Amino acid sequence: MPKNFIVHTKDEIEGIRKAGEAAAYARKQIAMFIRPGITTKQIDEYAEVIIASTGGTSAFHLYRDFPGQICISVNEEVIHGIGGAREIVAGDIVSIDVGVNLNGFIGDNAETVKTGPVNDKIEGLLLQTENALYAGIKRAVRGNYVRDISIAIENVAKRNKIGVVRGYVGHGCGCELHEPPEVPNFKSAKGPMLRPGMVLAIEPMFNRGTYKTVTEADGWTVRTKDFKMSAHFEHTVLITDGEPEILTI
Ligand code: MG
């Protein structure tokens, strides 16, 4: 049976750490750029410039032929949105997922950005999705299992009556964009035990309504089935001998 996890070497971890820094820098810059009146295509073009300024390249562009530089998912869109003609309107929430390849190593992170005041339900959705990310990270310690992360994330959703996307999950990361193991955001198989040197992209995707999603005709954009809002927060996290190290902070 092939190994269902990867322990990275010291040298690899050094490279992944630098890629994580680049990915975090790019995410923050792009988040600040997002405002009403611009199109998602303009966000994607800006992302290309910012990612290039780190010395890296987009880890998503042309991955399985994905056409964008980053994923830009607005409101009811969950993940994998492609920059295009859609114009940002005040009050939209915009999820950006930013992966950077720096010298062959990958950092992957995401956040959902507000573009103006939103109602309490949406405010709560964003807050609890980010809370769930950190609740999951807290459990990302040696000797735990992947499922411990999943349960911690799902519990935040349950307490807040939020839908947890089931069709898409977190993943190992580092030398490839997607490495084993999968990191679901809901209780599932135990998965491998966490060991120092493992790197996980932990990424809760929470919906205001149903957990169910559909894929748009472009073949990429995933949206909620009921058109209710969706949020997404992600960090690339290193398992250590002690506390988890967030590489994309
Ligand atoms: Mg990811």
212 within some domain: yes
186 is a domain residue: yes
User: What is the whole-number distance in angstroms between the Cα of residue 158 and the centre of ligand 1?
Assistant: 22
223-237 pLDDT tens trace: 999 999 999 999 999
How high is the mean pLDDT of the chain? 98
Q: How far is the CA of 97 from the centre of ligand 1 (A)?
A: 7
Render pLDDT for 147-170 as a digit per residue (tens, 0 to 9): 999 999 999 999 999 999 999 999
Instruction: Tell how far the Cα of 26 is from the centroid of ligand 1, in angstroms.
Output: 15
Residue 3: pLDDT band by 50, 70, 90 thresholds?
A: confident
Q: Does residue 52 register a pLDDT over 80?
A: yes
3 lies in some domain? no
Query: 203 C-alpha vs ligand 1 centroid, how far in Å?
Result: 6
Helical segments of the chain, H only: 10-33, 40-53, 120-138, 146-159
Cα 200 to ligand 1 centroid, rounded to whole Å: 9
**Residue 185 belongs to what domain range?**
10-246
Total of domains in the chain: 1
- DSSP secondary structure, 103-162, as one string: TTEEEEEEEEEESS---HHHHHHHHHHHHHHHHHHHT--TT-BHHHHHHHHHHHHHHTT-
Q: What is the pLDDT of residue 1?
A: 58
Residue 174 Cα to ligand 1 middle (Å): 11
pTM over 0.75: yes
Q: Is residue 1 part of a domain?
A: no
In a domain, 55, yes or no: yes
Q: How far is the CA of 234 from the centre of ligand 1 (A)?
A: 7
We report the CATH number of the domain holding residue 23 as: 3.90.230.10
